[in-house]
Chain A
Amino acid sequence: MTAKTMFVTQEGPANALALNKDNSQVVIAGRNVFKVFSIEENEFVESCNLRVGKNLNLNFSCNDVAWNTLEDNILATAATNGAVVVWNLNRPSRSKQDHVFSDHKRTVNKVNFHAIEPSWLISGSQDGTMKCFDLRVKEAIRTFYSNTESVRDVQFCPHSTPIFAAVSENGSVQQWDLRKPERHVFQFSAHSGPVFACDWHPEHSWLATASRDKTIKVWDLSTAKPSLEHIINTIASVGRIKWRPQRKYHIASCALVVDCSINVWDIRRPYVPFASFDQHKDVATGIAWRGDPQIFLSTSRDCTLYHHNFKDATRPADKANPQGISFNTQGDIVYSWRVNTSTNKSSKLPGLLRRNAATSDDFVNANSSLSYFKKSNLGLKGDNAFLLCAQRYLLTGRPLADLCDHNAAVAKDLGKTNVSIVWSIIKTLYTTKVGDFGQQTPSREDAQSATMSTGHIDRDKKDEAGDIEKKVNKTPNNEKDDYENEEDEKLKLAEDPAVSFGDFFFGDSEMDPLSIDFERVGNIGLTGGLVTTTDRIDIQQPDWTLPTEAFALRHELQDRSPPPEQFPNSDSPDLNDEATALGVEDQPSSLLCVSWCLRLPHWDPSNVVVAALKHHASQGDIQTSASVLLALGEKRRSLINNAELDESTQEQWLLAYIDMLTRFKLWDVATQVIQLSWIMSVCQLNQQSTTVHTSCGQCDKPLIRSGWLCDRCHTANSAICALCHRVVKGLYAWCQGCSHGGHMEHIQKWLETNKVCPTGCGHLCEYT
């Protein structure tokens, strides 16, 4: 038998095909095509064109075609006009039309010959009936009323001669007995959509049904109650199905829409086609196995008739990736892989395994295991060094030498000796040589904020004789006053450091130790008080990073509104002016001196430092590169000017570091990095899309229409003033610590004399 994939193209698409009983000839039938081909070794040879004659009426327009199971010259077609036509190829005339049965009222979908009684022909029609014709008496001998809209397929059972199955557009399957035309044997609902085809298993009492619901279902009809044995999920409506001969679990299907390929499924693995034939350019309309499990023919809407061989099939499962692997932030790995249940352990040779997978049994054994490799902590601190470093590094707020010492110690403690050395070298390069002034170069922002708050102290002291509380009383009921308020707040706290050490404080108060310490450091630093400073700070170490963040966030948002201030160049003159005018000489002088002094050394370390940082960055240690840049503060400018460290690289490092920090959920450190950043695009990360959503305190529904009335529970309880117990309809001042609040004026009045929350919750409230 021929084993070649070959095809022939016709003038029109065929709706169906049928093979004669010895599989040597094939007939294809459609609206405009009706031909018989003999199947030769390498080609199809047209042996008869049945669409001839002067009167080409609708009797020639076929939905289906069947070849008589015994007589090689008899064909039957289901015509679109409702006729069932019998053709005799042995007729001597050109027209082979033998007889026309015009019993059906609507189009006929299917015709089939009985396997044992070849003069019996059954038809299923759109009018909802099936008819059995006897070719000897040339009339419809029985009519079966399905009580459904339309019958899409009707198939004789190969195991029990009088039995046939019919499927309908309403999703039901009926089993009939030829001898009992009055009523079906049983009926069941098989699909949620129209059933387009059914096929009896050649050996088992299984009936497969194909539906528009994209599934193929296999039913066992041997028992009293039909049981669903298998479901195949396909990607499109299933138009035709045919069991593969000699392969118990295989069935071929083609789609009605979308999918042009013909798939052969193994019902035991119902998700992936066992084999796929992609030769057709449009959807296939008919499938017929040629007796051999390796060969079948198909027609398609692309007007072709194909002869397929299994050796030309594609195997979708072979292309499917059988493994998955993923790394997470902690360095854990998750791995999924195909489990080889086959005992074939000799398959060490490459490729052999894959070839085995093509055989049916290996194909069916598709199981994956999922493993999770947890990076085990061997009790070493180095295992989550990134996290700990990020938390413990100091990036600002102290002299560079201090920062370097501290960070070097942290790195060493965590086993990162190289990084520790980098910090030590940075200290050596940038602090020792130039002496005292270098020791306290804070980052620009801190210098600025510190100067500004000091400035305010001085000014306020002059202007208002330090009467802070009075200033708070000033009605701050519009945005303009916020800034001043902020300053006042700072001022107040700066005056009274004790307040800030309440351990339940959140928000602005915590910025306080920083600015105070900074000022102290500023004063002590010059007189060799470094050791004492360090010691003192060590006690408070864990608090160091967070306070900076909590303070500067709010402040900067206000402070930075005119963008040009971002640029150090435009900024520093002001800063210097102000600072000198105020007589706080320590910080400004250092700022001034940096650029000047760095020109002094004979050897400029910038290139070396940049090379080191680039090395660390390329090794994936972005933490060191970014942290050193941040800690250097203003000194980094020399790196930019004297060595090739362009701004985009710095931006890349900062963004990468921020990304890593957010992966570890170190939001506070990430925010600090953003604040300390000197690059516009990075600074702005904090200022984008900050929204405060309000929800009803009673039912949690978001307040959309107004801030004081809930649309759902119609209460205004969440907007009641803690003092007058009335609904606040305007500005609602609330404490971010305990979330109680009320009318602005009332709260202000209350706070003149009290420090705790007016509701009595015991919270020391902060209204800013």
Chain B
Amino acid sequence: MFEAHSINAEHKDLIHDVAYDFYGRRMATCSSDQFVKVWDQDENGDWNLSASWKAHSGSVWKITWAHPEFGQVLATCSFDRTAAIWEEIVGEVSNPGEKGMRHWVRRSNLVDSRTSVTDVKFGPKSLGLLLVTCSSDGVIRIYEAPDIMNLSQWTLQHEISCKLSCSCLSWNPSFSRLHPPMIAVGSDDPNPSTGSKVLIYEYSDNSRRWSKTESISTITDPVHDICFAPNLGRSYHLLAVATNNVRVFKLKPLQESGGVVQRFDIQTAAVFDDHYCTVWRVSWNVTGTILASSGDDGCVRLWKANYMNVWKCVAVLKGDGTLPQTEPTTGTIAQPTLLSSSSSARYYKLGSISHPNQVPWH
């Protein structure tokens, strides 16, 4: 199902984030070595390094692409307490027809945080050019570029303190105008007594403020990554959370009488314990139907809901590519002899739901 290819990234330290652009033909990586690299895919499908530069004076934690409507724009955030906006520009050429040299320039440096900036994300295109950052001292900052043609000017629109060290955030990408702008934030605070580690903030047009509308109380372990599923046409939202396991939550907006205050009916759609270790990342495919998770076990696991809305593991990919194991269910032939073997039995466990109270919502 998948061919594994290794890319020699040549980062001198850990790679903390990889991000595809909107079309999936460019890729950016960032690392503790303070460098950002941009890769372009050629016609053969091979990835070629197209740019590499020292972006920060500390580890670069996250990297994210803006919608191409705004140009080739990247945002990075770093241990050095800043977030930066980068734009690729094409140099002037002497002869017409010649291709200009392309290079990345820093358009803006957002220096409001007093601690490490742990995540940065561009907002949905429909809201204009918005950027949200969160920092390890628990402050969420929402910036806006009032003029989308001028990426050097960003105004700090909102500053929200959530009092917990933030590690990750995600915009709700819904296209529906019934869904107000929404951000989910995860905290890596190791202390379980500080309560919920997933907070949901919504923007209210009436009060012109962001306010916390929900917190998912069942998560008290540190959260390492959080991701809203792309919502192409659902009336509810799916939120994946990477903590000591993988969890998927279904958030169904409850329309209250006035239609002003929206709260959610939050249900746990799935819990997967298969990594048996810290889960670091979760990511959705573009249609929001397949969830990928990766943990300290060095495996990427892909999850998909079946027609009964029961989530199952559909593939396990080994990071080093040596053992790209695929889930036998693709063939739907479950040989009884294999069932007894330990490896196969493990697969069957993958899709199971670990807790009885997670089932009855469908």
**Which residues of chain A have a CB within 8 Å of any CB of chain B?**
214, 233-235, 258, 269, 271-272, 316, 319-338, 340, 348, 350-351, 353-354, 366-376, 378, 614, 616-622, 625, 648-649, 651-653, 655-657, 659-660, 662-665, 697-700
Contact = CB atoms under 8 A, between A and B. Distances in A.
Interface stretch (B53-61, B156-164, B263-271, B351-359): B53-61
A620 B18 contact: no
Interface in B1-57: 1-9, 11-20, 22-25, 27, 29, 31-34, 45, 47, 57
Contact of A369 (B6, B58, B224, B232): B6
7 contacts: A235-B58, A319-B136, A378-B1, A620-B288, A653-B233, A660-B287, A700-B93
Q: Across chains A and B, which 6 residue pairs bring their CB atoms closest together, nearest first? A: A617-B233, A328-B24, A620-B287, A368-B15, A620-B289, A329-B24
B155 interface: no
B202 interface: no
A354 B11 contact: no
B319 interface: yes
Interface stretch (B101-109, B173-181, B341-349): B173-181
A681 B233 CA distance: 17
B280 A321 contact: yes
B2 A350 contact: no
Name, among A269, A323, A652, the residue most crowded by chain B CB atoms within 10 Å (CB to CB).
Answer: A323
A374 B97 CA distance: 34
B248 interface: no
Interface string B294-332: 111010100000000000000001011100100000000
Given A334-B27, A350-B277, A663-B22, A375 B234 contact: no
A481 to B, nearest CB: 33
Contact of A371 (B174, B244, B319): B319
B13 A269 contact: yes
B87 interface: no
Contact of B176 (A366, A620, A651, A662): A651
Given A214-B57, A368-B9, A652-B174, A235 B284 contact: no
B144 interface: no
A330 B21 CA distance: 12
B15 A336 contact: yes
Nearest to B27: A334
- Most chain A C-beta atoms within 10 Å of own C-beta, residue among B25, B57, B174: B57
Nearest to A626: B233
Contacts of B57: 214, 233-235
Contacts of B177: 648, 651-652
B112 to A, nearest CB: 13
A351 B319 CA distance: 19
B312 to A, nearest CB: 15
B152 interface: no
A320 B93 contact: no
B142 interface: no
Contacts of B278: 350, 354
Given A335-B18, A700-B96, A660 B235 contact: no
Given A320-B32, A320-B61, A648-B178, A336 B300 contact: no
A375 B276 contact: no
Contacts of B317: 333, 335, 373
Interface string B83-104: 0000000000100110000000
Contact of A656 (B6, B232, B280): B232
Contact of B233 (A320, A338, A369, A649): A649
B286 interface: yes
Given A370-B7, A371-B5, A322 B233 contact: no
Contacts of B122: none
A663 B32 contact: no
A335 B319 contact: yes
SS of B interface (majority):
loop
B277 A320 contact: no
B292 A327 contact: yes
A323 B32 contact: no
B99 to A, nearest CB: 12
B276 A350 contact: yes
Nearest to A331: B285
Contacts of A325: 18, 281-283, 292-294, 300
A556 B225 CA distance: 46
Nearest to B16: A321
Most buried by B among A269, A320, A374, A697: A320
A656 B16 CA distance: 30
A595 to B, nearest CB: 26
Contacts of A657: 232
A620 B324 CA distance: 26
Nearest to A260: B114
B298 to A, nearest CB: 6
Nearest to B321: A371
A375 B20 CA distance: 15
Contacts of B293: 325
B20 A327 contact: yes
A525 B238 CA distance: 46
Contacts of A333: 2, 283, 292, 300, 317
Given A272-B59, A321-B17, A366-B14, 12 more contacts: A234-B57, A235-B81, A320-B32, A325-B300, A331-B290, A336-B18, A336-B29, A370-B15, A373-B4, A618-B233, A620-B289, A663-B24
Contact of B14 (A330, A368, A620): A368
Interface string B212-236: 0000000000001100000111110
Nearest to B291: A327
Given A350-B277, A371-B321, A665-B23, A620 B232 contact: yes
Nearest to B302: A333
Contacts of A378: 1
Given A271-B33, A372-B4, A373-B300, A327 B9 contact: no
A272 B13 contact: yes
B272 interface: no
A673 to B, nearest CB: 13
Given A325-B300, A371-B5, A371-B6, A337 B79 contact: no
Contacts of A620: 232, 287-289
A324 B32 CA distance: 13
A378 B2 CA distance: 10
A336 B232 contact: no
Given A235-B81, A330-B24, A354-B278, A337 B294 contact: yes
Contacts of A652: 174-178, 231, 233
Interface string B126-169: 10000000001000000000000000000000000000000100
Contacts of A335: 18, 294, 300, 317, 319
A327 B17 contact: no
B80 interface: yes
B275 to A, nearest CB: 9
Contacts of B224: 321
Given A326-B20, A374-B45, A656 B5 contact: no
Given A214-B57, A376-B1, A649-B235, A324 B13 contact: no
B348 to A, nearest CB: 20
Interface centre among B8, B57, B175 (most CB of A within 10 A): B175
B319 A656 contact: no
Contacts of B47: 372
B23 A374 contact: no
B248 to A, nearest CB: 14
Contacts of A625: 233
B300 A375 contact: no
Contacts of A351: 277
A664 B6 CA distance: 25
B281 to A, nearest CB: 4
A369 B298 CA distance: 11
Contacts of A376: 1-3
Given A370-B29, A373-B317, A375-B1, A353 B296 contact: yes
Contacts of B45: 374
Contacts of A233: 34, 57-58
